[in-house]
Amino acid sequence: EPEVTQTPSHQVTQMGQEVILRCVPISNHLYFYWYRQILGQKVEFLVSFYNNEISEKSEIFDDQFSVERPDGSNFTLKIRSTKLEDSAMYFCASRAHDRGNSYNSPLHFGNGTRLTVT
């Protein structure tokens, strides 16, 4: 079964440094997402991406964050200047095209990148 893959599995960085988290969504999927999960808390939506542009973002996704699809397979999340509170597990997710307009295709998550900001 195809999977969403994420690299690295664990990233340690110093406060103020830039990090890039990488994801390869499932190949025939069209919608891409980043979520984050602070330890012991719920999964929080960051941003969605469709047709080579951001379709929606949450209030968490401020100017320090950016996403990019640099080629036909990768989907990246960049945090420009990391803060201690950015420490979390970051999940990439993707889903296929919906049948009709019913937004009913399931979301598939990658294994996540644990980001630790020191």
Partner 1 sequence: GENVEQHPSTLSVQEGDSAVIKCTYSDSASNYFPWYKQELGKRPQLIIDIRSNVGEKKDQRIAVTLNKTAKHFSLHITETQPEDSAVYFCAARALGGGSQGNLIFGKGTKLSVKP
Nearer to partner 1, 15 or 54 (CB): 54
Nearer to partner 1, 19 or 33 (CB): 33
- Rounded to an integer, what distance in angstroms lies between the CA atom of residue 22 and that of residue 118? 20
Question: Cβ of residue 16: shortest distance to partner 1, in angstroms?
Answer: 27
Give just the sign of the alpha carbon dihedral 59, 8, 18, 20.
Answer: negative
Nearer to partner 1, 20 or 43 (CB): 43
Q: List residues near partner 1 by CB under 8 A.
A: 31, 33, 41-45, 48, 50, 55-56, 91, 98, 102-104, 106-112
CA gyration radius, the chain: 14
Nearest to 8 by CA among 91, 80, 82, 113: 113
Question: Cβ of residue 27: shortest distance to partner 1, in angstroms?
Answer: 18
